[in-house]
């Protein structure tokens, strides 16, 4: 007793509380187990409240503020604001406080609103009624009051309120159907099983009498994994122990289907349900643009600090002469003098300074220290004066651009798939521009390149090939169900084998039969069985069972643990399903153990050839192997089928083995695998099947375009080498003239890994040296490119660290080879190996941007690893799409995603970033220069309103709209000419050279504005003809007019610079650009037109109007705008003429070509028939060569052969 | 059935709208930098700049301007003003000069200061707008240390700007011959912004000015109170004094020129200032040597394009020339490339 108390206390107070216990015990219905049971460890479980909201009403403001100021930029602005508040600075705190306040408020409102929505959703969820059993009665309560151990009743079409252990259902066989559409997107019905010993409890009273405890693991996020056991106590007997697996677990969020009601006991509630645990956000990916933006920010921060430092030093140099420090006309105030002399007195006059000084120094009275502090205060004041060089609004604009811009992807009609009714999804908008930077594409094969729409092609039984010929363009002809025998007809013994093979395929699967929503109605007549719909997580199985159906054997259903099949004679055969040894990707096979009507026990095993052949002891292995290999070469997916007859004693052994493994709480997976390994051996080979997976529409076209865009495409697949290679040929990843290099286990067995690698690198490097240039131009006709094939085992050898620590060498060598190959195929990859490959490339020394695309759960790790992860919304559930950054319905959409959207986003955001820095250099540099003319006294050049509004309203909208609308070339051109993608590769528009150019342009423009206006003020009598009113005189302008003049020139120049960079002028651009200029003028007129009562000063009164009434001011404005825009235009035009980039060529050909377009097209057509124009190789002649894939692939029409030719021709014509 | 309906609805709602905006297909004009367009643009810009430049140079040539620095000329006075103790000692200084040509039209008289920082941060702030607008004479907000006199009465006008007003008196006299010296008639009004004179500056309302300013002290460096700035013209007195208003508009740079008087075109001077001998009679009060500065007087005529400086005109001309140069070189490059291209195609 004491002991347990201590333990409880320890558990309660040690860190993480529940992490200390690795399992939890639950009393079903809160009934204590009979004494003598295992010691119960009481644990606290959360209630069933789902809290997805971040804030509560009370902590919203502090918590949200804390969250927001954790961002480095916001924190910077906060510091600036505080400095402005504390010390006496020339700019009012409003100028930086207002934008910051605005940004913080908008973000807070947005987050608050989102959180409010979340609260609402939570409340709706937490308050929805749940039926549960109390003292044998049905009680309705709010969902949030549910606790662990409660027995819950769920009716049809309701969602489960928490994670439940399935106790019993209204269906007699103790099963229920569930869809997990809201969890992982799979809409198929899955069968779950009630615990054997409790499935008899059908009524509320019954279930209340249940006396049981459940032990299970602590909550963990894996949706498909669960281990536990249940102890059912019946009167005075030892408890019955049963294993619990994920088939007994009903997850929160899933929906009950086809079942009237079920009972279950809550085991994980609230935030501990698997659904809630899965909500945890993924790690944040940052784009290359964002990284360079941060680097540029640091540069600007350095510029800012050095500006402030220079000015502080110069100020003290300048002031070293007393007549300047305190001329007779500008005496210091008492407090200022006191600050120097550090005789702290009454805080009169400048109280703020005083307080600051007192705060910082305490009562130190060292003169040197005070001098230093004064200098430091000055330094801070200069920092504040120049802080606008890093504007708050840049962050806001970038965020808005990304957020709004991502809608263009979801809106895109071209990327909408009408068959599935799915459009593209954007899960994160942070990576839009990264799509324009991709250098490596890692693609999955099945379901991504191919349709994952399996079709049974043939089967081979003991060397005899059977082809169901009833297939016509993918449609089954109703009457034809015969078998077309290719080889000679088999003998009687063979016929027996044949039927056994068909039975094996009919039984060895995990398919469910969907019977059109009638749950317990009478079964359909056997004839109609052909129309029943099979549902399975693996499309191969469906294809096989459907194929076998055409060969005469039909799988009907699984009823009360009996599998029913319809044989050729329309007789129903019943097999008792004893065990299922389910499929996993490591074993790559599955088995069933069934008992036939005659009492014989069979084990049927189906799996990949590599996993079956080693376990086979009998059968025509060689014949079947050769057939399998032939099929694989043709790109078919092959499976081998084997069986074994078990005598009852053997079966007993198997049973105990499996039971022991299943009940184990720890390492159950491992123990199960061991058990399977022991059971699935000494098999007799029956035959093999071949299933075809068609290429996706336009897959080849897409890959070709990506390669032309300079992107390296790697195929990573779990398939075997021959199948994968054939697919690669079909989708033009490998070409006729591709020299294939193999790095496979077989080769490594022959030579050592060392030799193979060195040999390969030699071959590759010999060619690459002379070909890199051609390669880049993308025009070389007979480019000898290399394709590398590597398999998983070889890869792990390369990756494995050696004992002597020379692992790096192989890795480097391997990378070197890969880099020089145009295409790489990695087959036999485990999911984690896929991620490993991606990581290897990602971390190689050039740090290329990687993109991973896949559709299945096995691609998730690679999708998460790559810079950009794209999920194909495919047939294998939605896991990939859920974990990806972007999801697209088809592989072909990748082309538009990268070449069009990625390209445009990159152009837009890079201009946005550069332009923002440019316009703020223009803005702040004159301010810096002015310090040299005002005795470094921190006098501002511009009025406060201008300082505040420059970035917020005068110049913000044009760039935002530019960054949303700009199309430097048309979408059509981008799609037609993939090579344009190379122009922006490697972050081309944000390189240092470009950044420095923009910065210097900014400095130059600032110099022009400032000194242009300065010389005019110095030399010319800048006067205004005061005729506006009554007097007819000329008057002098002051410093505010000077600032306004500079500011006016600046606003116009900066906006017109953007106008010159805009290639795509929609009405929105016109509206925004001219509108913001107009707004500036109107605002200035208004701002100066009235003495605003809320302002303590009136220095801007009539300044703008007086300036505009002066002739010289107009002349200067026009002159300075021209001069500051001229060099940029000149540079642009000259670069275009002398070193045009491909994009610019396309831009100009478009203009020239418009008038004589027909002529050009004619030319292009004629050209394309010439031998060199049809790069990349004459596809039409490609077929009858050593690799047979194209001709033998039946649906080769999906490979757009003529299309490729035209693309080539069109791509070339602009370059002429 | 209902299920079917539902799915079809979902499909429809998921299908993106086919609007031009959402498909990024808005009708747009594509800005193209074509060779002819760019070249003609450059030539046009160049022509415009050259034209304006030449006009400006010509118009600036027609302007007459004369500037006389008098700090060194009046060295004795400057020395006297070095020391603030001598503030009540008057010092005058006469500067004769010869005008070789007539100054046609309106002639303006400026004073110009070198090295006087009217744009120091604290200096610019050191004024009280509510005082200047006449509403609250006691409001001396930002004026420290020139806000209150020793006995605590508020200074009107307070602050460093007002305190340091330019207080030299400049009188231009025309020497018709060696015996007849006549003072050139000058207008001291109409030299400020209209808005300054009639909106931003107002005298406190009272029967007369001196009573309005009771209870205030004069700025420490002033010799007479603000209501005695111009005793002849009541409209030009107190805060409404034009010289005062001009001074209160702080200059942008340490070297600046401020309008002092304008020629009253009567009698001899109906056409402007005739050629001949003149002299400036200056009462030297404003100390500049203390901050190593200088003072000068400027006489100038004006045109629409400003003063006599060639700056604007020259810059325009140079810009135009550079633009044309660029245009010509671009044309050369363009033609060269075109030739190359035709050769390439022929081959």
pLDDT for res A515:
59
Rounded Cα distance, A51 and A53, in Å: 5
Max avg pLDDT among A10-19, A843-852, A1167-1176, B333-342: A843-852
pLDDT band of A327, cuts 50, 70, 90: confident
More confident residue, A87 or A312: A312
Q: CB count, 10 Å around CB of B111?
A: 22
Q: Which of A115, A444, A693, A859 is catalytic?
A: A444
CA angle (A642 as vertex; A640, A645 as ends), nearest 5: 170
A515, with CB counted inside 10 A (0-12, 13-18, 19+), is: middle
- Across the interface, whether the CB atoms of A421 and B56 are under 8 A apart is answered no
Render pLDDT for A25-63 as a digit per residue (tens, 0 to 9): 888 877 777 665 555 566 778 888 877 777 888 888 898
Per-window interface: A 941-970 vs B, CB < 8 A: 965, 967, 970
Rounded Cα distance, A822 and A619, in Å: 42
- Across the interface, whether the CB atoms of B311 and A330 are under 8 A apart is answered no
Tell me phi and psi for residue B256, to 5 degrees.
-150, 165
Chain A residues close to B24, C-beta within 8 Å? 408, 904, 965, 967, 971
pLDDT for res A799:
78
Peptide bond into B145 cis (omega under 30): yes
| Lowest mean pLDDT, pick from A626-630, A661-665, B159-163 | A661-665
* H or E element, residue A479: none
Rounded Cα distance, A658 and A675, in Å: 6
Residue of A nearest to B27 (CA): A1066
Among candidates A965, A1065, A1132 on the partner chain, residue whose Cβ is nearest the Cβ of B33? A1132
Residue A549 confidence (pLDDT) above 60: yes
Chain B residues close to A410, C-beta within 8 Å? 16
Q: Which residues of A142-179 are buried (b: 16+ CB within 10 A; e: fewer)?
A: ebbebbbbbbbbbebebbbbbbbbbbbbbbeebbbbbb
Determine if residue B238 is left, alpha or beta; phi over 0 gives left, psi from -120 to 50 gives alpha, anything else beta. left
Chain B residues close to A967, C-beta within 8 Å? 24, 28
Q: Are A439 and A711 in contact (CB under 8 A)?
A: yes
Determine if residue A258 is left, alpha or beta; phi over 0 gives left, psi from -120 to 50 gives alpha, anything else beta. left
pLDDT for res B171:
93
Chain A residues close to B31, C-beta within 8 Å? 1060, 1062-1065
Render pLDDT for A1089-1129 as a digit per residue (tens, 0 to 9): 888 887 777 888 888 988 888 778 888 899 999 999 999 99
- Across the interface, whether the CB atoms of A423 and B16 are under 8 A apart is answered yes
pLDDT band of A1181, cuts 50, 70, 90: very low
Tokens of A912: 């946005």
Query: So what's the ipTM on this one?
Result: 0.94
- Length of chain B counted residue by residue: 347
Determine if residue A599 is left, alpha or beta; phi over 0 gives left, psi from -120 to 50 gives alpha, anything else beta. left
Q: CB count, 10 Å around CB of B181?
A: 14
Rounded Cα distance, B182 and A209, in Å: 128
Q: Which residues neighbour B161 within 8 Å (Cβ) at sequence distance 6 or greater?
A: B118, B123, B124, B126, B127, B247, B248, B250
| Lowest mean pLDDT, pick from A784-798, B233-247, B320-334 | A784-798
Across residues B141-153, what is the average pLDDT? Answer: 85
pLDDT for res B5:
42
Q: For A134-158, what is the HEC assignment? A: ECCEEEEEEHHHCCCCCEEEEECCC
Across residues A448-468, what is the average pLDDT? Answer: 80
Q: Which residue has the tokens 């928490």?
A: A162
Rounded Cα distance, A1025 and A1016, in Å: 16
Q: Are A681 and A245 in contact (CB under 8 A)?
A: no
Q: Which residues neighbour B335 within 8 Å (Cβ) at sequence distance 6 or greater?
A: none
Render pLDDT for A379-424 as a digit per residue (tens, 0 to 9): 988 988 898 888 778 888 888 898 888 889 988 888 888 887 888 8
Q: Among A68, A92, A63, which Cα is nearest to A80's?
A: A92
DSSP states of A269-285:
-GGGSHHHHHTSPPPPP
- Across the interface, whether the CB atoms of A1023 and B34 are under 8 A apart is answered no
Average pLDDT for chain B: 86
Among residues of chain A, what percentage have pLDDT more than 90?
Answer: 16
Q: Are A612 and A640 in contact (CB under 8 A)?
A: yes
- Across the interface, whether the CB atoms of A933 and B330 are under 8 A apart is answered no
CA angle (B167 as vertex; B161, B172 as ends), nearest 5: 140
A1216 at B interface, C-beta within 8 A:
yes
Chain B residues close to A90, C-beta within 8 Å? 121
Render pLDDT for A478-516 as a digit per residue (tens, 0 to 9): 433 344 444 444 566 777 888 888 888 888 887 877 655
Rounded Cα distance, A237 and A249, in Å: 26
Render pLDDT for A564-617 as a digit per residue (tens, 0 to 9): 888 888 888 888 888 888 777 677 788 889 888 888 898 999 988 888 888 888
- Across the interface, whether the CB atoms of B164 and A330 are under 8 A apart is answered yes
Q: In angstroms, how far is the first alpha carbon of chain B from the final one?
A: 70
- Across the interface, whether the CB atoms of B252 and A1148 are under 8 A apart is answered no
Tokens of A1024: 């205004």
Query: For the CA atoms of A385, A386, A387, A393, what is the dihedral angle to 10 degrees?
Result: 110
Across residues A909-929, what is the average pLDDT? Answer: 94
B28 at A interface, C-beta within 8 A:
yes
pLDDT for res A418:
83
Residue of B nearest to A1037 (CA): B251
Pick the residue of A257, A1035, A1104 with the most B CBs within 10 A to test the interface with B by mutation.
A1035
Max avg pLDDT among A180-184, A301-305, A424-428, A1175-1179: A301-305
- Across the interface, whether the CB atoms of B306 and A1020 are under 8 A apart is answered yes
More confident residue, A206 or A17: A206
Residue A1174 confidence (pLDDT) above 70: no
Tokens of A103: 């940004």
The number of CA neighbours under 13 Å toward the Cβ of A1150 is 20
pLDDT for res A921:
93
Residue of A nearest to B164 (CA): A329
Q: Which residues neighbour A565 within 8 Å (Cβ) at sequence distance 6 or greater?
A: A503, A506, A507, A553, A554, A555, A556, A572, A573, A575
Query: Could you tell me how many CB contacts below 8 A there are between chain A and chain B?
Result: 257
Whether A444 is a known active-site residue: answer yes
Residue of A nearest to B220 (CA): A329
Rounded Cα distance, B279 and B174, in Å: 7
Across residues A779-800, what is the average pLDDT? Answer: 72
Q: Are A792 and A716 in contact (CB under 8 A)?
A: no
Rounded Cα distance, A741 and A764, in Å: 9
B307 at A interface, C-beta within 8 A:
yes
Chain B residues close to A1028, C-beta within 8 Å? 194
pLDDT for res B16:
66
Rounded Cα distance, A654 and A402, in Å: 59
Tell me phi and psi for residue A743, to 5 degrees.
-130, 75
pLDDT band of A68, cuts 50, 70, 90: confident
Pick the residue of B37, B143, B252 with the most A CBs within 10 A to test the interface with A by mutation.
B252
- Across the interface, whether the CB atoms of A935 and B254 are under 8 A apart is answered yes
Among candidates A1026, A1038, A1130 on the partner chain, residue whose Cβ is nearest the Cβ of B250? A1038
CA angle (A943 as vertex; A941, A947 as ends), nearest 5: 90
Q: CB count, 10 Å around CB of A635?
A: 26
Tokens of A648: 């009852």
pLDDT band of A1156, cuts 50, 70, 90: very low
CA dihedral for A954, A959, A964, A965, sign (positive or negative): positive
Chain A residues close to B345, C-beta within 8 Å? 1216
Among candidates B116, B305, B334 on the partner chain, residue whose Cβ is nearest the Cβ of A1111? B305
Render pLDDT for B18-47 as a digit per residue (tens, 0 to 9): 788 888 888 888 877 677 888 999 999 999
Average pLDDT for chain A: 77
Render pLDDT for A822-853 as a digit per residue (tens, 0 to 9): 889 988 777 778 888 898 898 888 889 999 99
Residue A962 confidence (pLDDT) above 90: yes
Residue A312 confidence (pLDDT) above 90: yes
- Across the interface, whether the CB atoms of A330 and B145 are under 8 A apart is answered no
Q: Which residues of A378-389 are buried (b: 16+ CB within 10 A; e: fewer)?
A: bbbbbbbbbbbb
More confident residue, A1120 or A100: A1120
Peptide bond into B157 cis (omega under 30): yes
**Secondary structure letter of residue B294 according to DSSP:** E
Within A736-806, residue ranges assigned H as helices are: 745-750, 753-777, 792-799
Render pLDDT for A689-701 as a digit per residue (tens, 0 to 9): 888 877 888 888 9
A1096 at B interface, C-beta within 8 A:
yes
Q: Which residues neighbour A83 within 8 Å (Cβ) at sequence distance 6 or greater?
A: A89, A380, A383, A384
A321, with CB counted inside 10 A (0-12, 13-18, 19+), is: exposed
Per-window interface: B 137-176 vs A, CB < 8 A: 141, 144-146, 160, 163-164
Residue A1184 confidence (pLDDT) above 80: no
**Secondary structure letter of residue A673 according to DSSP:** H
**Helix-helix angle A392-411:A956-965, to 10 degrees:** 30
3-class DSSP assignment, residue B232:
coil
Q: Which residues neighbour A114 within 8 Å (Cβ) at sequence distance 6 or greater?
A: none
């Amino acid at each position: 007793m004491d002991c347990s108390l201590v333990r409880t206390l320890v558990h309660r107070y040690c860190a993480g509380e529940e992490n200390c216990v690795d399992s939890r015990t639950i009393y079903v219905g809160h009934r204590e187990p009979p004494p003598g049971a295992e010691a119960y460890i009481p644990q606290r479980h959360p209630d069933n409240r789902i809290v997805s909201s971040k804030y509560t009403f009370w902590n919203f403001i502090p918590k949200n503020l804390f969250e927001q100021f954790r961002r480095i930029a916001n924190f910077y602005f906060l510091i600036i604001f505080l400095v402005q508040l504390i010390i006496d600075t020339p700019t009012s705190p409003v100028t930086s406080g207002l934008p910051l306040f605005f940004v913080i408020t908008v973000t807070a409102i947005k987050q608050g609103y989102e959180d409010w929505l979340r609260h609402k959703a939570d409340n709706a969820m937490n308050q929805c009624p749940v039926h549960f059993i109390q003292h044998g009665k049905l009680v309705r309560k709010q969902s949030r009051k549910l606790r662990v151990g409660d027995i819950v009743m769920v009716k049809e079409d309701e969602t489960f309120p928490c994670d439940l252990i399935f106790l019993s259902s209204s269906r007699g066989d103790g099963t229920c159907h569930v869809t997990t559409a809201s969890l992982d997107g799979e809409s198929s019905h899955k069968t779950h099983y009630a615990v054997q010993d409790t499935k008899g409890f059908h009524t509320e009273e019954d279930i209340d009498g249940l006396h049981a405890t459940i032990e299970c693991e602590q909550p963990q996020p894996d949706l498909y994994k669960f281990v536990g056991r249940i102890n059912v106590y019946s009167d005075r007997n030892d408890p019955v122990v049963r294993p619990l697996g994920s088939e007994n677990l009903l997850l929160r969020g899933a929906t009950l289907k086809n079942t009237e009601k079920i009972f279950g006991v809550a085991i994980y509630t609230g935030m501990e349900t698997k659904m809630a645990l899965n909500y945890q956000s993924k790690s944040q990916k940052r784009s290359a643009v964002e990284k360079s933006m941060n680097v540029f920010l640091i540069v600007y921060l350095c510029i800012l600090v050095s500006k402030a430092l220079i000015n502080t030093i110069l100020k003290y140099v300048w002031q070293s002469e007393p007549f300047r420090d305190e001329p007779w006309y500008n005496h210091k105030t008492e407090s200022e003098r006191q600050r120097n002399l550090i005789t702290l007195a009454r805080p009169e006059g400048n109280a703020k300074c005083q307080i600051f000084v007192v705060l910082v120094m305490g009562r130190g009275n060292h003169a040197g220290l005070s001098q230093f502090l004064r200098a430091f205060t000055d330094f801070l004041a200069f920092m504040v004066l120049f802080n606008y060089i890093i504007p708050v609004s840049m962050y806001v604009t970038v965020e808005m651009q990304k957020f709004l811009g991502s809608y263009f992807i979801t809106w895109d009609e071209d990327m909408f798939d009408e068959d599935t009714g799915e459009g593209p999804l954007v899960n994160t908008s942070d990576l839009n521009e990264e799509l324009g930077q991709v250098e490596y594409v890692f693609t999955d094969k099945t379901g991504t390149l191919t349709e994952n729409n399996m079709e049974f092609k043939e089967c081979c039984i003991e060397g005899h090939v059977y082809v169901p010929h009833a297939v016509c363009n993918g449609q089954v002809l109703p009457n034809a169900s015969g078998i077309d025998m290719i080889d000679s007809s088999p003998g009687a013994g063979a016929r027996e084998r044949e039927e056994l093979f068909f039975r094996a395929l009919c039984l060895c699967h995990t398919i469910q039969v969907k019977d059109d929503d009638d749950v317990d109605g009478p079964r359909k007549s056997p004839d109609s069985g052909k129309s029943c719909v099979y549902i399975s997580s693996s499309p191969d199985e469906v294809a096989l069972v459907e194929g076998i159906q055409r060969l005469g054997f039909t799988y009907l259903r699984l009823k009360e643990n009996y599998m029913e099949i319809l044989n050729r004679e329309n007789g129903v055969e019943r097999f008792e399903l004893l065990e299922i040894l389910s499929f996993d990707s490591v074993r790559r096979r599955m088995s069933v153990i069934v008992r036939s009507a005659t009492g014989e026990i069979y084990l049927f095993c189906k799996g990949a050839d590599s996993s079956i052949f080693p376990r086979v002891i009998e059968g025509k292995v060689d014949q079947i192997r050769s057939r399998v290999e032939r099929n694989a070469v043709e790109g078919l997916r092959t499976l081998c089928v084997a069986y074994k007859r078990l005598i009852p004693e053997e079966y007993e052994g198997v049973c105990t083995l499996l039971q022991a493994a299943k009940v184990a709480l720890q390492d159950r997976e491992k123990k199960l695998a061991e058990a399977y390994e022991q059971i699935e051996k000494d098999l007799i080979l029956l035959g093999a099947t071949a299933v075809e997976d068609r290429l996706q529409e336009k897959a080849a076209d897409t890959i070709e375009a990506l390669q032309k865009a300079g992107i390296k495409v790697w195929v990573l697949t779990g398939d075997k080498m021959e199948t994968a290679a054939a697919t690669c040929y079909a989708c033009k990843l490998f070409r006729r003239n591709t020299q294939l290099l193999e790095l496979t286990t077989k080769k490594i067995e022959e030579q050592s890994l060392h030799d193979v690698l060195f040999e390969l690198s030699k071959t590759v490097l010999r060619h690459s040296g002379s070909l890199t240039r051609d390669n880049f131009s993308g025009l070389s006709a007979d480019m000898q490119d290399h394709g590398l094939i590597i398999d998983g085992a070889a890869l792990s050898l390369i990756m494995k660290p050696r004992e002597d620590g020379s692992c790096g060498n192989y890795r480097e060598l391997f990378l070197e080879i890969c880099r020089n190959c145009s295409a790489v195929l990695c087959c036999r990859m485990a999911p984690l190996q896929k991620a490993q490959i991606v990581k290897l490339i990602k971390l190689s020394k050039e740090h290329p941007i990687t993109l991973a695309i896949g559709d299945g759960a096995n691609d998730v790790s690679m999708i998460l690893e790559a810079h950009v992860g794209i999920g194909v919304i495919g047939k294998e559930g939605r896991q990939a799409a859920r974990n990806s950054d972007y999801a697209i319905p088809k592989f072909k959409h990748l082309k538009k995603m990268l070449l069009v959207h990625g390209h445009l986003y990159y152009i837009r955001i890079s201009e946005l970033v550069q332009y923002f820095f440019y316009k703020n250099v223009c803005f702040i540099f004159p301010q810096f220069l002015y310090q040299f003319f005002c005795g470094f006294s921190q006098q501002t050049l511009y009025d406060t309103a201008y300082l505040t509004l420059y970035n917020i309203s005068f110049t913000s909208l044009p760039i935002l709209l530019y960054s949303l609308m700009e199309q430097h070339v048309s979408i059509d051109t981008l799609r037609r000419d993939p090579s344009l993608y190379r122009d922006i590769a490697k972050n081309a528009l944000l390189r240092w050279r470009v950044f420095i150019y923009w910065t210097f342009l900014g400095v130059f423009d600032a110099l022009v504005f400032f000194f242009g206006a300065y010389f005019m003020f110095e030399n010319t009598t800048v006067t205004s003809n005061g005729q506006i009113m009554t007097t007819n005189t000329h008057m002098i302008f002051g410093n505010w007019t000077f600032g306004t003049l500079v500011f006016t020139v600046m606003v116009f120049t900066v906006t017109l610079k953007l106008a010159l960079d805009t290639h795509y002028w929609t009405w929105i651009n016109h509206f925004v650009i001219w509108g913001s200029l107009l707004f500036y003028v109107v605002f200035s007129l208004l701002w100066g037109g009235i003495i605003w009562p809320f302002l303590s000063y009136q220095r801007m009164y009539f300044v703008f109007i007086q300036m505009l009434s002066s002739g010289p001011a107009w002349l200067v404005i026009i002159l300075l705008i021209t001069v500051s825009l001229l060099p940029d235009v000149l540079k642009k035009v000259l670069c275009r003429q002398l070193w045009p980039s491909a994009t610019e060529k396309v831009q100009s050909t478009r203009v020239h070509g418009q008038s004589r377009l027909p002529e050009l097209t004619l030319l292009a057509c004629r050209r394309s028939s010439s031998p060199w124009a049809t790069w990349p190789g004459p596809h039409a002649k490609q077929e009858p060569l050593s690799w047979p894939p194209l001709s033998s692939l039946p649906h080769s029409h999906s490979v757009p052969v003529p299309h490729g030719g035209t693309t080539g021709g069109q791509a070339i014509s602009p370059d002429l | 059935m209902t299920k079917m309906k539902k799915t079809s609805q979902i499909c429809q709602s998921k299908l993106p709208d086919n609007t031009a905006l959402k498909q990024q297909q808005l009708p747009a004009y594509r800005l193209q930098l074509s060779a002819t367009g760019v070249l003609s643009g450059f030539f046009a810009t160049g022509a415009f700049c050259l034209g304006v430049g030449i006009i400006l140079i010509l118009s600036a040539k027609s302007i007459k301007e004369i500037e006389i620095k008098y700090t060194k000329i009046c060295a004795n006075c400057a020395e006297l003003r070095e020391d603030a103790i001598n503030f009540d000692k008057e010092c005058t200084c006469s500067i004769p000069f010869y005008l070789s040509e007539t100054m046609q039209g309106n002639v303006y008289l400026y004073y110009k200061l070198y090295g006087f920082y009217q744009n120091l941060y604290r200096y610019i702030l050191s004024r009280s707008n509510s005082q200047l607008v006449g509403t609250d004479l006691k409001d001396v907000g930002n004026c420290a240390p020139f806000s209150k006199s020793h006995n605590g009465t508020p200074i009107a006008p307070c602050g460093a700007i007002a305190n340091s007003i330019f207080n030299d008196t400049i009188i231009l006299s025309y020497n018709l011959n060696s015996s007849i010296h006549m003072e050139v008639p000058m207008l001291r009004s109409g030299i400020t912004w209209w808005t300054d004179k009639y909106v931003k500056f107002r005298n406190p309302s009272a029967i007369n000015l001196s009573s309005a300013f009771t209870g205030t002290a004069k700025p420490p460096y002033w010799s007479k109170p603000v209501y005695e700035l111009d005793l002849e013209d009541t409209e030009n007195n107190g805060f409404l004094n034009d010289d005062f208003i001009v001074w209160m508009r702080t200059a942008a740079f340490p070297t600046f020129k401020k309008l002092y008087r304008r020629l009253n075109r009567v009698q001899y001077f109906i056409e402007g200032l005739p050629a001949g001998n003149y002299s400036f009679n200056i009462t030297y009060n404003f100390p500049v040597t203390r901050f190593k500065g200088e003072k000068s007087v400027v006489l100038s005529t004006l045109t629409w394009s400003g003063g006599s400086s060639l700056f604007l005109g020259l810059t325009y001309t140079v810009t135009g020339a550079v633009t044309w140069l660029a245009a010509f070189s671009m044309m050369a490059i363009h033609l060269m490339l075109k030739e190359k291209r035709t050769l390439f195609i022929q081959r």
